[in-house]
Homo-oligomer: A and B are copies of this chain.
Amino acid sequence: MVTIKDVAKHAGVALSTASYALSGSDKVSPKTRELVLQAAKELNYQKNGFAMDLKRKSTKTILLILSDLSGPYYSELIRGTQEVTLSNGFDLIACSSVGGADSTAYKFLQERRVDGAIVLDPNISEHLLRESAREGCPIVVMDRYVEGDFIMNVAADNVQGGYEATRYLIGQGHRDIAWIGGPSNSLGSQHRKEGYLKALQEEGIVNTKWMLVGNFTEEGGYHSTKVMLMQEERPTAIFYGNDEMAIGGYKALREFGLSVPEDVSIVGFDDIQVAEYLSPPLTTVRQPKYEMGTMAAHLVFQAMGGEYVNKSYKLKIELIERLSCQPPRLAPNRGKGMET
């Protein structure tokens, strides 16, 4: 392995001079710089980044931790963080928490390999976050709430989202509105449900029949929907915890011979790419993912600069009306399917 030492020797200069030349300092004369660069090229010298970081005590990289490097959900968010990170002259790398305590995420956080992190991943424990966040490595946590020094939070206003979606359905005349939510460890899902309940409550609607949970996957939505449809009474509308579950719902409804939106209206959450191509196109709640991404990255850099920043941000969401909802066919069957 050829090191800077070899380059220096080959160029006939001191190691330190070679270092200056290679890093483009103006302390070195043009001709020796040329000499060193030439030597480096001849020996095919490649600098060792770690040695550099070790000395410099900073890595100029931000880590983005996702629960699942794949997944349709993240695209826009990644784009946002990437743009901001790059324009600050930093690098962005992404990894997932797959593998638990042996995961890449743990390694990078614990071993101080980055200068900051953005975490969108319920699997990373609060403990690890608090332990890893520090001067020189601020952490932004998305879609959940974690308190601690050098920890900031960014989330969509899920309560508002749940509320608006439900009000929208109520506005169309629905009163029998089901909720099929995500896993209970998801704070986002909980908040959406909270907004949903708030809207129902305002209208004096009480629903104890149609509240199920799934696991944020198509599969989960499919099964929960089926379970619900096997009951005697059916809602006129279903509000899903996310779009992927709604897709599963479409499938289950079709199998039961029910059509969307004639028999049942559907609202999803997230506005993933597929949503607009479904048939019918899915009415859903869009999270400002790009903005969340840029916001998170900005916060990291502000915190690095030592600026005081608000610890917690909530971004507004937006209801996207498509064709999966319409007023219920019959006059709302008040009193049926509801209990006090």
Contact = CB atoms under 8 A, between A and B. Distances in A.
Contacts of A50: 50-51, 53-54, 59, 112-113
Interface residues of A, number: 49
Given A110-B46, A131-B44, A104 B91 contact: yes
Contacts of A96: 82, 92
Contacts of A82: 69, 96, 98
Interface stretch (A28-36, A70-78, A299-307): A70-78
Q: How many copies make up the complex?
A: 2
B104 A46 contact: no
Contacts of A108: 49, 91, 93
Interface in A33-84: 44, 46-54, 57, 59, 61, 69-72, 74-76, 78-79, 82
A54 B47 contact: no
A107 interface: yes
Contacts of A59: 50
Contacts of A253: none
B112 A72 contact: no
Contacts of A274: 273-274, 277
- Which of A49, A99, A274 has the most B CB atoms < 10 Å from its CB? A49
Interface of A: 1, 44, 46-54, 57, 59, 61, 69-72, 74-76, 78-79, 82, 86, 91-96, 98-99, 103-104, 107-108, 110-113, 131-132, 247, 273-274, 277-279
